[in-house]
Amino acid sequence: MIKDTSNMNWHDLKDTEVLYLDIEEMRNLINKGIEKSCSLSKLCLKIKSTQFYNILKNTNEGISVKTLKEFMSYLQMDFNSINRKITEIRKGNICSIKNPKFPISFENTRLGALTGHLMSDGCLYYDNSRKNLIRTKYCSDDWEGIKLFTEALNEVFGEVHFNQETIRNCIQIRIGT
């Protein structure tokens, strides 16, 4: 099978990333898994994860990319069938991206605008708080530039969480991984 390199999908993310799906969609998937395996405990054993118990108990529970891939493979479902059902991507308590726009197309013209902004007034830098973590920073003394950058960012990826601060009359936008 030839991999499509013009798009990035949720299953291309790191296995440790946590995805939050529409709760009704997640419950429907779990019910399909229960039907196939005969019980929730057998399903958890087959997938080697107990996350399904937490998801059914708590409506605000995510699932790791690794577990979701194994689960979708077990159900013999196309990974792309849940693209629009993903409501959030998180790594910690703060949502990284709300309503991500999967698949993210590398042919999107707005991605070129983002690249242009980053090449002129942005940078990638190592975050010393974690090992091998690269973050993105964009700086501008012009609110119009900040507005255009954040609009392009949200149009390409979804509602992206970022930190904003002003240092020496320059507005800085810092984005996670």
- 22-30: Cβ within 8 A, 24+ apart: 22/85, 22/87, 23/59, 25/82, 25/85, 26/55, 26/63, 27/55, 27/56, 29/71, 29/75, 29/77, 29/82, 30/55, 30/56
Around Cβ 147, how many Cβ atoms within 10 Å? 11
Q: Is the pLDDT of residue 1 over 50?
A: no
Token pair in block for residue 11: 């299953």
Tens-digit pLDDT profile for residues 59-91: 778 899 999 999 999 999 999 999 999 999 987
Tens-digit pLDDT profile for residues 146-167: 999 999 999 999 999 999 999 8
- The DSSP code sequence of 128-140 is TTSTT-EEEEEEE
The whole-angstrom separation of Cα 128 and Cα 68 is 30
**pTM of the predicted model, to two decimals?**
0.85
